[in-house]
Amino acid sequence: MGKTEKKELLVAALENGTVIDHIPSDKVFDVVSLLGLTHLDNPITIGANLRSRKMESKGIIKIADRYFTEEECGKLSVIAPNIVMSIIRDYEVVEKKAITLPDEVHGIVRCGNPKCITNHEPMQTVFHVVDKNAVTLRCRYCGKDVLQKDIKLL
């Protein structure tokens, strides 16, 4: 219990902002780049390879004074479906939401089919999400499926 309290204290140490938790350690910097965090001036804390009860090793990112739209959150689900996002206001967690995949994913993921038109034209990729739990994406153009383990970001 003592450990848990300490952890919550760590999270609550943010006055206002967003805490992104339960990121697989190897995806931490994918989250940084997907949310465009390198372009922000806000104070940001990034932790990786932390021990977790739910997963072997996790990452956590805290961003002060910044909240994210549904669309921005949706992007994250493509690389890590179990991420939890906490909204902090005045040191309190006012909302905790699990990230869910949108029905369509635009311009984030590369199609794994080397013969797909999207890998040859200056155009946006579009995938239909055919399985939200297992994260299976189907390319709108060539029809090939991309499984979560094969997802490559653009």
The minimum distance between CB 116 and other proteins, in angstroms, equals 5
* 120 binding other proteins? (CB under 8 A): yes
Cβ burial of 144 (10 Å; 0-12, 13-18, 19+) is middle
Q: Which of these ranges, 32-40, 43-51, 85-93, 137-145, lies near other proteins under the rule CB under 8 A?
A: 137-145
Residue with tokens 């992104």: 20
* 141 binding other proteins? (CB under 8 A): yes
Q: How far apart are CA 43 and CA 49, in angstroms?
A: 20
Find the distance separating the first CA and the last CA of the chain, reported in whole Å. Answer: 41
The minimum distance between CB 46 and other proteins, in angstroms, equals 37
Q: Which of 35, 139, 146, 151 is the binder for other proteins (CB under 8 A)?
A: 139
Q: Which of 123, 130, 134, 154 is the binder for other proteins (CB under 8 A)?
A: 123
Is 147 in contact with 134 (CB distance < 8 Å)? yes
Residue with tokens 């910044």: 66
* 118 binding other proteins? (CB under 8 A): yes
* 39 binding other proteins? (CB under 8 A): no
Is 95 in contact with 19 (CB distance < 8 Å)? no
Q: Which of 117, 130, 134, 154 is the binder for other proteins (CB under 8 A)?
A: 117
Is 100 in contact with 74 (CB distance < 8 Å)? yes
**Interface ranges with other proteins (CB under 8 A):** 113, 115-118, 120-123, 139-144
